[in-house]
Structure 1
Amino acid sequence: MVRKVNFLLRGLLPLALLVSASLHAATLRVNDFGAKGDGAGDDTKAIQRALDKAAGHNDTVTFAPGTYRIGSIFVKNNTHLDIPKGVTLIGIQSLSAYPQMPTRVAGIEMTWPAALVNVYKQQHVQISGEGTIDGDGSYWWKSYWDLRATYEPKGLRWASDYDAKRPRLIQVFDSSDVKLGGGLQLHRSGFWTVHICYSHDVTVDGVAIRNNIGGKGPSTDGIDIDSSHDILVQHADIDVNDDALCLKAGRDSDGLRVNRPTYNVVIRDSVIRSGAAAVTFGSETSGGFRNVEAYNLTAEKNVSNGVLIKSARVRGGFGENLRVHDLHLDGVKTPIKVTLNWNPAYSYATLPKDADPKAVPPYWIPLTTPVPPEKGLPHFHDVHIWNIDAKNATTAIDMSAYPNTTLDNFVIDHVTIAAKSAGSITNTRNIKLNDIQLKIEDGSVLKFADNAELQGQDKVQYGITLKQ
């Protein structure tokens, strides 16, 4: 009898704790902590006071309608940040408003400005509502282009993204049990919009990302999942100028040192209006990707690719058990693209001959540290791409790797593409094609080269699409 009672008590304890937490949870208004929401003053400290008060108590922090100018704010353990409709958090255009802190940026561990909204080494956090988080990005975009204009003639294109320090909109770093969405409007990020790094059990559900308001923000990725696991992204509506939904895992020597994969990820039920691809793997591939599924994605004419796998011969890493299916593409230039020699001016970093290694930024050193070929060549295998419906494309399929690091065990089936030209498939081993319908305006057919154990070339059917 005593044993039975103890068992019942143990079973009731978590419920009692949950009920207790709910009874004691409070709703805190930032306005009661001094925030004005008048669009003029700096509300950062007042909002942070409310967040600090809520931390650890399952409290909700919310806002009266208004526009709140802020620098970096930090949402802490067991807190719900509610940003209701009629509320805008707008970023201050000064680097001093974003404290420098350890993080990872574009595959390199380094010190970088905090994001506008941060979940940094926390647990059990929710950020939701139909309000707007606005990075006011034009200032940061101009700073990037100005610096890049001076760097490119010096052969420093690769350094531009690192030296032009720009705040991300939302950072989830080394955190778990985080939920983001509920209709949030994410506008004009200075750099990446949502960066999920070294984190797990994160859900992004219901966000609209708009980084082309009042200009075109460079490198304004939508949602980046970086060396993280057990991630769900769904119901996103994205308009950006770089990768929209992207898997990352570190870059070159530093990424290989860290060696943390991205795995157990589901991306689904989303719309991409402008960006580099509907879904992207890379180019930061060093830690590898495993068990990723992306499906039911719709991409429009300002999207360059459908599924994009990109890396470089110094990245290393791998991709395995990747599944991409049910993509609906209209005007997307290349529905299926794989390249392991992506953007050489950015991917292959070398110190200028006259540079003093002791005088350059410290992160230049891992960026320019040579990676041996046996470690630098990435390897993608066991990838399944199916149910792709694309029209008004430029090139149907463009896949290439290297003779000594082939694309292995790819399966591509149930694909219908109308495009200007067919494209090519090279450097593969044991690729299987089935039910491929290509309607090609110029009458070309797929070019095949260096494909060992190719299966299903006869399963590719061609037709001609007349130019509209």
Structure 2
Amino acid sequence: MFKNQTSNLKIYLLTLLSFLTLLSCKTSITKDNTAVDNFAAADQIIEDIIIPTFPEATFNILDYGAVADGVTKNTVAIKLAIEECNAAGGGTVLIPSGKFLTGAIYLKSNVNLHLEDGAVVLFSTETKDFTPLVHTSYEGQELMNYSPLIYSYKEKNIAITGKGVFDGQANNANWWKWAGKEEYGYVEGEPKQGDDHNLPRLWAFSDKNKPVSERVFGEGHQLRPQFIQPFGCENVLIEGVTILNAPFWVIHPIKSNNVTVDGVTINSHGPNNDGCDPEYAKNVHITNCTFDTGDDCIAIKSGRNNDGRQVNIPSENIVVENCDMKDGHGGVVMGSEISAGVRNVYVRNCTMDSPELDRAIRIKTNTLRGGFVENVFVKDIKVGKVKEAMLRINAYYGTYANQEGDFIPSIKNIHLENITVEDGGKYGVLIKGRPENIVKNVTLKNITIKSADTDLSVENSEPLQFENVTINGKKY
């Protein structure tokens, strides 16, 4: 009873702190010279996140028959080590130096999957090695599909750590071509994810509220698995590892609470290769990571269309700091699968720089997705080069693909400060809100954008609030 009371008190205090933070931000905007720290709530989120710990017991996969030749499949050996570790009350499953080929890995409670320096885990490219099908998600809609390469379902206290490498081995010859794009190996006439038996079928299931158990895909379909997916998990740590060549989204904590992603390097340039996608997730800390991706570096999500509205779990209390964003569609992004909403996002002390990075901060939705984005705080960001904009807010995302509906999104309380941009690309700031519910309360403070083709392009928004902002040498 007392534990629950303590937990409820912490939730109350965090909510109160977030509210007071917003009040402080509003005060600072009115230029009354009040010194405020808009990131006090972020510090509290980090302090309250539970990082899993494990008993000292170690279970070396070599003791379960694993062979480090890069050819022998070690799926069974890794499974046995994890199961014995879990049954013994927890500990570390050790993957030592060497190359180990495997199919899907299922990570159980109280297990730390640890890659020794020099360890390389190669994942099979044969679809049968990612069966049986599991309860998973594809672009914000739940289904039964191929298992993610590393998967957990409703487990508690799990970790993936070490200095080794996970290589999904996805490329134009296997998973990537299912995206249906020639640059990823697709040949006209081959099956692809956009065919009627794939995504349109899943969308129809979602619209009709068909149970997940009846949304069966997998073999004979072309929907790619995520790389790492903790689904409905508590107390998750992913630390230190390098991740290469994902079939689809790389790290996807969905319906999970207390998630730490620390010191991870992601280098994966396939289609939809988002780096880290918290979805319906709470209390997430992403820090000290490097993202070099084929899609958004970090994309915070909360379900697509009817599925998101039915689940109705906003993603909230997410802190991103000390990260380096290279290639990608956006540095830190909210959307586009955002139907249940996103709030309380804090981004600080990051660098974003690449001729192949489209935007630094991005919010994307439409009237089919709907949802809300509120209370986003960004500070101390160094941007080298981006293609399109330092800040891009788009409430018309994907309208070229019939993405219009009846769910007007809400976007408000977006605050950026202490940002320098060397080359902002086409726009310094690009905002396209909806006339039915304009973008509200966007503030820019201590921002210098040295060059951009166009300073500002703002539609259907309250007037931006500037304090010490310079774009192309012009003061705002």
TM-score range for the pair, normalised by the shorter chain length: 0.7 to 0.9
The question of 1:165 aligning with 2:220 is answered: no
Match 2:140 to one of 76, 90, 107: 107
The question of 1:341 aligning with 2:404 is answered: no
Equivalent residues in 2 for 1:67-86 (5 A)? Answer: 67-86=99-118
The question of 1:233 aligning with 2:281 is answered: no
Paired letter, 1:414: N
The question of 1:407 aligning with 2:471 is answered: no
Unaligned segments of structure 2, at least 5 residues = 1-52, 204-220
Match 2:237 to one of 174, 179, 193: 179
My pick for the range that moved more, 400-409 or 425-434, is 425-434
1:299-326 C-alpha deviation (Å, 9 max, x unpaired): 1122100100000111111111111222
Other-structure match for 1:323: 377
Instruction: Indicate conservation of the 8 Å contact 1:285/1:378, yes or no.
Output: no
Paired letter, 2:63: D
Paired letter, 1:123: K
Instruction: Indicate conservation of the 8 Å contact 1:157/1:346, yes or no.
Output: no
Q: Which structure features the higher share of strand residues?
A: 1
Q: Distance in 1 between matches of 2:187 and 2:408?
A: 28
1:197-227 C-alpha deviation (Å, 9 max, x unpaired): 0000010001000114xxxx11111000101
- TM-score normalized with structure 1 length: 0.79
Q: Residues 341, 160 of structure 1: CA spacing in aligned structure 2 closer, same or farther, 3 A cutoff?
A: farther
Q: CA shift at 1:292, angstroms?
A: 1.1
Q: Distance in 1 between matches of 2:187 and 2:197?
A: 8
Q: Distance in 1 between matches of 2:306 and 2:273?
A: 24
Q: Residues 122, 405 of structure 1: CA spacing in aligned structure 2 closer, same or farther, 3 A cutoff?
A: same
Q: CA shift at 1:158, angstroms?
A: 6.7
Other-structure match for 2:257: 200
Residue aligned with 2:262, SS: strand
Q: Residues 184, 153 of structure 1: CA spacing in aligned structure 2 closer, same or farther, 3 A cutoff?
A: closer
Instruction: Indicate conservation of the 8 Å contact 1:328/1:388, yes or no.
Output: yes
Q: Distance in 2 between matches of 1:180 and 1:380?
A: 31
Q: Residues 148, 33 of structure 1: CA spacing in aligned structure 2 closer, same or farther, 3 A cutoff?
A: same
Other-structure match for 1:391: 422
Paired letter, 1:201: N
Q: CA shift at 1:346, angstroms?
A: 4.8
Q: CA shift at 1:159, angstroms?
A: 5.0
Paired letter, 1:254: D
Match 2:412 to one of 365, 370, 381: 381
Residue aligned with 2:358, SS: strand
Other-structure match for 1:277: 330
Paired letter, 1:121: K
Other-structure match for 1:8: none
The question of 1:47 aligning with 2:70 is answered: no
Instruction: Indicate conservation of the 8 Å contact 2:180/2:194, yes or no.
Output: no
Match 2:475 to one of 446, 455, 461: 461
Q: Residues 330, 404 of structure 1: CA spacing in aligned structure 2 closer, same or farther, 3 A cutoff?
A: same
Paired letter, 1:185: T
Q: Distance in 1 between matches of 2:144 and 2:193?
A: 23
1:75-118 C-alpha deviation (Å, 9 max, x unpaired): 11111111111111111011111122112221111122111111
Residue aligned with 1:55, SS: helix
Report runs of 4+ in structure 1 exceeding 6 Å deviation: 151-158
Q: Residues 157, 176 of structure 1: CA spacing in aligned structure 2 closer, same or farther, 3 A cutoff?
A: closer
Q: CA shift at 1:430, angstroms?
A: 5.5
Other-structure match for 1:63: 95
Match 2:472 to one of 439, 443, 449: 439
Q: CA shift at 1:275, angstroms?
A: 0.3
Q: CA shift at 1:250, angstroms?
A: 0.8
Q: Residues 76, 153 of structure 1: CA spacing in aligned structure 2 closer, same or farther, 3 A cutoff?
A: closer
My pick for the range that moved more, 401-410 or 199-208, is 401-410
Other-structure match for 2:50: none
Q: Residues 283, 160 of structure 1: CA spacing in aligned structure 2 closer, same or farther, 3 A cutoff?
A: farther
The question of 1:137 aligning with 2:170 is answered: yes
My pick for the range that moved more, 149-158 or 270-279, is 149-158
1:52-97 C-alpha deviation (Å, 9 max, x unpaired): 0001522111023211111111111111111111111111011111
Q: CA shift at 1:190, angstroms?
A: 0.8
Instruction: Indicate conservation of the 8 Å contact 1:158/1:345, yes or no.
Output: no
Q: Residues 300, 159 of structure 1: CA spacing in aligned structure 2 closer, same or farther, 3 A cutoff?
A: farther
The question of 1:90 aligning with 2:143 is answered: no
Paired letter, 2:110: N
Other-structure match for 2:152: 119
1:333-354 C-alpha deviation (Å, 9 max, x unpaired): 21111101112345629xxxxx
Paired letter, 1:164: Q
Paired letter, 2:223: K
Unaligned segments of structure 1, at least 5 residues = 1-20, 350-370, 441-459, 463-468
Paired letter, 2:325: I
1:169-201 C-alpha deviation (Å, 9 max, x unpaired): 1111100111111x2010001111100100000
Residue aligned with 2:120, SS: strand
Residue aligned with 2:331, SS: strand
Q: Distance in 1 between matches of 2:377 and 2:249?
A: 25
Match 2:319 to one of 266, 289, 299: 266
Paired letter, 1:108: Q
Q: Residues 429, 221 of structure 1: CA spacing in aligned structure 2 closer, same or farther, 3 A cutoff?
A: same
Other-structure match for 1:423: 456
1:373-427 C-alpha deviation (Å, 9 max, x unpaired): 2xx1110111212222111222211101111121012212221112122231111
Paired letter, 1:204: V
The question of 1:312 aligning with 2:366 is answered: yes
Question: How many residue pairs are counted as aligned between the two chains?
Answer: 393
Q: Distance in 1 between matches of 2:303 and 2:258?
A: 20
Q: Residues 33, 305 of structure 1: CA spacing in aligned structure 2 closer, same or farther, 3 A cutoff?
A: same
Residue aligned with 2:436, SS: coil
Q: CA shift at 1:461, angstroms?
A: 1.2
Residue aligned with 1:51, SS: helix
Q: Residues 149, 106 of structure 1: CA spacing in aligned structure 2 closer, same or farther, 3 A cutoff?
A: farther
1:126-150 C-alpha deviation (Å, 9 max, x unpaired): 2100000110010211232366955
Equivalent residues in 2 for 1:13-32 (5 A)? Answer: 25-32=56-63
Residue aligned with 2:376, SS: strand
